[in-house]
Amino acid sequence: SDTAVPRLIAQITSDANAGHRLVLAPHSQGAVIAATAVLGSADTDRLALLSYGSPWSHLYARFFPLYVNSAATTEPIERLGGPEQLRWRNLYRFTDPIGGPIDGVADQTPLEDPCGRIHSDYWVEPQYAAAVAELRLLLPPAGGKEQSTRAVNNTIRTRRLISRPSD
């Protein structure tokens, strides 16, 4: 994370400075990295988060309770609109031994897993596309409210983050 978090903060900053709206979509441990990057980013008004298969509460809270707990989600939640206007969604499956719900992130219905995907391929699920679309609607227009919907949709970036062992 010594490399991943600063690089992600730099990318968020670059996209924000370019006027883009950004939906970060981190998988697994990437959710922890992305939430940490949210904390280090100056401009989070045009930022949303879609985590999936996240070990945040399911594993990390059990093994690192001093560092990963309900209080640890409070600041990223506040930076992403607060509980009332939260721009953070989380997907998980009951069959996923790693991912699970994240304390404080509302509306987390577990996905069915008829194909046995377990901890992978969340992005092929229709709920993934629906969550991205929902989060896009929660983001304010880039560059001002006078822009048309078509122009605004062209300035949204969705970055899918997949954790790798080397990160």
pLDDT at 107: 67
Q: What is the mean pLDDT of the chain?
A: 83
Among the listed residues 67, 146, 69, the one whose alpha carbon sits nearest the alpha carbon of residue 103: 69
d(CA 141, CA 4): 28
Among the listed residues 120, 116, 107, 105, the one whose alpha carbon sits nearest the alpha carbon of residue 53: 120
Dmax (CA) for the chain in angstroms is 48
pTM of the model: 0.82
153, pLDDT greater than 70: no
105, pLDDT greater than 80: yes
pLDDT-based confidence at residue 66 (cuts at 50, 70, 90) = confident
pLDDT at 162: 45
Between 152 and 25, residue with greater pLDDT = 25
Determine the average pLDDT of the residues in 99-108. 85
30, pLDDT greater than 90: yes
pLDDT at 1: 63
Within 8 A by CB and 6+ apart from 109, the residues are none
Helix (H, G, I), strand (E, B) or coil at 152: helix
Phi first, then psi: what are they for 120, rounded to 5°? Answer: -130, 170
Q: Tell me which of 8-22, 33-47, 131-145, 153-167 is least confident.
A: 153-167
Determine the average pLDDT of the residues in 101-117. 87
Share of the chain above pLDDT 90, in %: 56
Among the listed residues 155, 133, 153, the one whose alpha carbon sits nearest the alpha carbon of residue 89: 133
